[in-house]
Amino acid sequence: MQADIVTIFPDYFAPLDLSLIGKARAAGLVDWRVHDLRAWTHDRHRTVDDTPYGGGAGMVMKPEPWGEAFDAVLGRADAPPTLVVPTPSGEPFRQATAHEFAALPHLLFACGRYEGIDARVVEHARTRMPVREVSLGDYVLNGGEVAVLAILEAVVRLLPGVVGNPASLVEESHSVAGAGWLEYPVYTKPLSWRGLDVPPVLLSGHHGQVAAWRAEQSLERTRARRPDLLPDTPPAAEIGDAELA
């Protein structure tokens, strides 16, 4: 997989080399290039933003540098990459999205800052490559860089050969294979720690009983913390009605 990242804070991505993702790069399983958006500015102050049309607080990222940055990446690519734009107004980025992205040969990440990127950048990009605007959750960061780090980790770890034991990718929270329930609690030595003991079933050697206990734990956690992940969960209003009935 090839990833290009365009940002005004290229140093944000230095930690990528420290992690498992860095090992994947060394093994040739993934490569990424980080580009400073200001390389495509032409004024003395290397300006990347301006005031918003229609008024309002904050600044908006100018379209010209982004257009030239995408021109440069596309000009070097054999085929158009998929443009991934982290934004609070995007589609939810889920484990299924990570699997989709892991199957793509080339991702181009645009890290917005300020109040966002001039909308014409994505509008124009859609005429020359697939575009996915994605949200990591209902909260706002100061920019897309942290989101891209999270997305890259979620995606690259799914690439064949990156994670030592592929089986460990199966029983994870939100794992597609695990029906998307939350992960069960895990334990290791010592048997007793500060008066807290490992659940005896995990010491039984009964794989069937262990599997059943883990499934029950996953279901219990999912019911408690993420009922929205369970099938046939009526909207909250209906749940209220049912309880009142």
Ligand X SMILES: Nc1ccc2ncsc2c1
Residue 32: count of CB within 10 angstroms of its CB = 20
Q: How far is the CB of 48 from ligand X (least distance, A)?
A: 12
Counting contacts by CB under 6 A, is residue 222 touching ligand X? no
Contact between 59 and 51 (Cβ < 8 Å): yes
104 a known binding residue? no
Q: How far apart are CA 151 and CA 164, in angstroms?
A: 20
Counting contacts by CB under 6 A, is residue 10 touching ligand X? no
Site for ligand X in 137-176 (CB under 6 A): 140-141, 143-144, 147
- 162, with CB counted inside 10 A (0-12, 13-18, 19+), is buried
Amino acid at residue number 77: A
Q: How far is the CB of 147 from ligand X (least distance, A)?
A: 4
Counting contacts by CB under 6 A, is residue 65 touching ligand X? no
**Contacting residue, 116, 122, 162, 182, with ligand X by CB under 6 A:** 116
28 a known binding residue? no
Contact between 81 and 109 (Cβ < 8 Å): no
3-state secondary structure 156-222: HCCCCCCCCCHHHHCCCCCCCCCCCCCCCCCCCCCCEECCEECCHHHHCCCHHHHHHHHHHHHHHHH
Q: How far apart are CA 220 and CA 227, in angstroms?
A: 10
Enumerate the β-bridge partners of residue 3.
Answer: 32, 107
141 a known binding residue? yes
**Nearer to ligand X among residue 149 and residue 182 (C-beta):** 149
Q: How far is the CB of 49 from ligand X (least distance, A)?
A: 11
Q: How far is the CB of 98 from ligand X (least distance, A)?
A: 16
Q: How far is the CB of 139 from ligand X (least distance, A)?
A: 7
139 a known binding residue? yes
Q: CB nearest ligand X: which residue?
A: 112
Residue numbers in the known binding site for S-adenosyl-L-methionine are 112, 136-141
Binding footprint of ligand X on the chain (CB under 6 A): 86-88, 112-113, 116, 140-141, 143-144, 147
Q: Which segments are annotated as binding site?
A: 112, 136-141
